[in-house]
Structure 1
Amino acid sequence: MLIVKDNPKSPVAESYRTLRSNIQFSSFDEEIRVILVTSSGPGEGKSTTAANLALAMAETGNQVLIVDCDLRKPSIHKKFKLSNSSGLSNIIAGQAKFEDSAHYFNKKLCVLTSGKIPPNPAEMLASHKMKEFLNESKGVFKYIILDTPPIIAVTDPQILSTMVDGVILVVSSGVAEIEAAKRAKELLENVNANILGTVLNKVKVGSRGYYSYYGNEGKRGKRRKRKRKLFK
């Protein structure tokens, strides 16, 4: 669900903006521009997080690119309701150009779907052409969000984490196992990835949620079912 677009005034949408701000202020020395989003396992909401984060980033007036780097089970095209006939894999393989494959969702947000599922996803993502693609994209876009597969399942996120400025690990409450989350963190640390933090997803907020601070005491139970926060 693209809640930042569909319900921009909701507490959940505001949580994505908080996540955006935390990322932007997470480093004083080097600007965080290319961000990888992954999870320990499937069904934790990494693609939803990546999509809404990209929308929140675009709200600031900067040019943003979201790329579906899950070349095994892509889903970004479904969330934005776009064709996936041509995308990242086609560009890396030299079969298509960026301008023919990318979709501008709005004036500030560009979406690049995964494209045709290749027989060798890991090799394609580790290629020199992938590095060139990211470098060229940085010349056009202020922020680049990469949606990747679950890190325990395949090596793709580890490979890409060496090419980005920071990594966000999505952990779903009630879905992710503690040991799996720890293992995901270890895999990222093994390649010296810059872990920006963890997004805790699908957390139920009780009757005394922190949104009461803003005067939502009477509405928070109905309006707020999930929250996402970046923990350092």
Structure 2
Amino acid sequence: MTEISKVINVKYELNEIVEEAYKALRANIQFCELNKKIKTLAVTSCIPNEGKSTVAINLSICMAKAGIRVLYVDADLRKPASFKYLVSNLKGLANYLVGHVSLEEIINATDIEGFNFITCGMKPNNPGDLIASDKFGDFLFEIEKLYDIVIIDTPPMSNFIDGAIIATQTGGTIIVAEAKAVKWKTAVMMKNQLQKANANILGVVLNKISAADYKNYNGNYYYQSPKNSSNKWLIWKGKRHKHD
């Protein structure tokens, strides 16, 4: 890999309980690799503001802290994640897909060892066409060679097909859903759309769970914030594996 000279400082301040939740999520994804190693992982949601990007970024950093070489890619060319505002390099995925820059020019190194990221870059006029292009497939092929896993943040699927297109080209997909925010029928339609696209759905991260609701999720992996905290955490519901 071409050496990246500039290093970006990343703010990562999770409390112990939240960090444990992401470690458990990391472990469950690794359990899904019993038959085949997952090199690319799409993270999607049904509607905006369910915490999809936060989950994708924190999961990426959690994996890097475990010694895994991780690349986070903001592939939401319609509404980018906050990483865009942390770097002076505004060249990103869209710039690469239209052929204006090289791959090395859009990869940002960070002060967290093993964790790099790519912003969405410029806002294109044709985001759907870029995601569906052969150039995007070539991009995935190239970055798979450079990292242990590539985590791709996709647009919500309620209004755009981009997430499903990306999911068809990745080794696995996880769905982030905010508790009590998405109607059941809408969630089922999203799942069916991903399955029709032959996406490998690993599981669902049920996000922003209140402490009062934890007792309703017995049998899943769940994590409770301290009693004096107003934070809401996540629950993982995924594929069962031999070690269950």
Cα distance in 2 for partners of 1:74, 1:127 equals 19
After TM superposition, give the deviation of residue 187 of structure 1 in Å: 1.2
Matching residue of 1:149: 155
Question: Does 1:82 find its partner at 2:87?
Answer: yes
Aligned-residue CA RMSD (Å): 2.4
Question: Does 1:6 find its partner at 2:13?
Answer: yes
Residue 36 of structure 1 contacts residue 147 of structure 1 at CA under 8 Å; is this kept in 2?
yes
Matching residue of 1:20: 26
Change (3 A) 1:19 1:156: same
Cα distance in 2 for partners of 1:41, 1:118 equals 21
Change (3 A) 1:67 1:191: same
What is the TM-score of this pair, normalised by structure 1?
0.88
Question: Does 1:99 find its partner at 2:111?
Answer: no
Matching residue of 1:214: none
Question: Does 1:53 find its partner at 2:41?
Answer: no
SS in 2 for 1:202: strand
After TM superposition, give the deviation of residue 191 of structure 1 in Å: 0.5
Change (3 A) 1:83 1:179: farther
What is the TM-score of this pair, normalised by structure 2?
0.84
Matching residue of 1:193: 199
Matching residue of 1:139: 145
After TM superposition, give the deviation of residue 228 of structure 1 in Å: 1.5
Change (3 A) 1:199 1:208: closer
After TM superposition, give the deviation of residue 181 of structure 1 in Å: 1.3
Q: Select between 104-113 and 163-172 the one with higher mean Cα deviation.
A: 104-113
Residue 209 of structure 2 contacts residue 235 of structure 2 at CA under 8 Å; is this kept in 1?
no
Q: Select between 84-93 and 112-121 the one with higher mean Cα deviation.
A: 84-93
Letter of the structure 2 residue corresponding to residue 58 of structure 1: A
| Cα-to-partner distance string for 1:168-197 (whole Å, 9 max, x where unaligned) | 111101322222211211111110111000
Matched positions, count = 222
Runs of 4+ in 1 over 6 A off after TM superposition: 207-210
Cα distance in 2 for partners of 1:40, 1:207 equals 21
After TM superposition, give the deviation of residue 4 of structure 1 in Å: 9.0
Cα distance in 2 for partners of 1:23, 1:72 equals 27
Q: Select between 172-181 and 108-117 the one with higher mean Cα deviation.
A: 172-181
Residue 122 of structure 1 contacts residue 155 of structure 1 at CA under 8 Å; is this kept in 2?
yes
| Cα-to-partner distance string for 1:8-47 (whole Å, 9 max, x where unaligned) | x421121111101100111311111210001010110101
Question: Does 1:164 find its partner at 2:166?
Answer: no
Cα distance in 2 for partners of 1:164, 1:43 equals 23
Cα distance in 2 for partners of 1:168, 1:4 equals 24
Matching residue of 1:213: none
Change (3 A) 1:229 1:32: farther
Matching residue of 2:36: 30
Aligned counterpart in structure 2 of residue 73 of structure 1, from 66, 79, 87 = 79
Unpaired segments ≥5 residues, structure 2: 1-9, 218-223, 239-244
SS in 1 for 2:66: coil
Aligned counterpart in structure 2 of residue 114 of structure 1, from 99, 104, 120 = 120
Cα distance in 2 for partners of 1:61, 1:48 equals 20
Letter of the structure 2 residue corresponding to residue 104 of structure 1: A
Cα distance in 1 for partners of 2:226, 2:130 equals 46
Letter of the structure 2 residue corresponding to residue 164 of structure 1: T
Task: Map 1:198-213 onto structure 2 (within 5 A).
Answer: 198-206=204-212
Change (3 A) 1:172 1:86: same
Change (3 A) 1:98 1:207: closer
Question: Does 1:41 find its partner at 2:50?
Answer: no
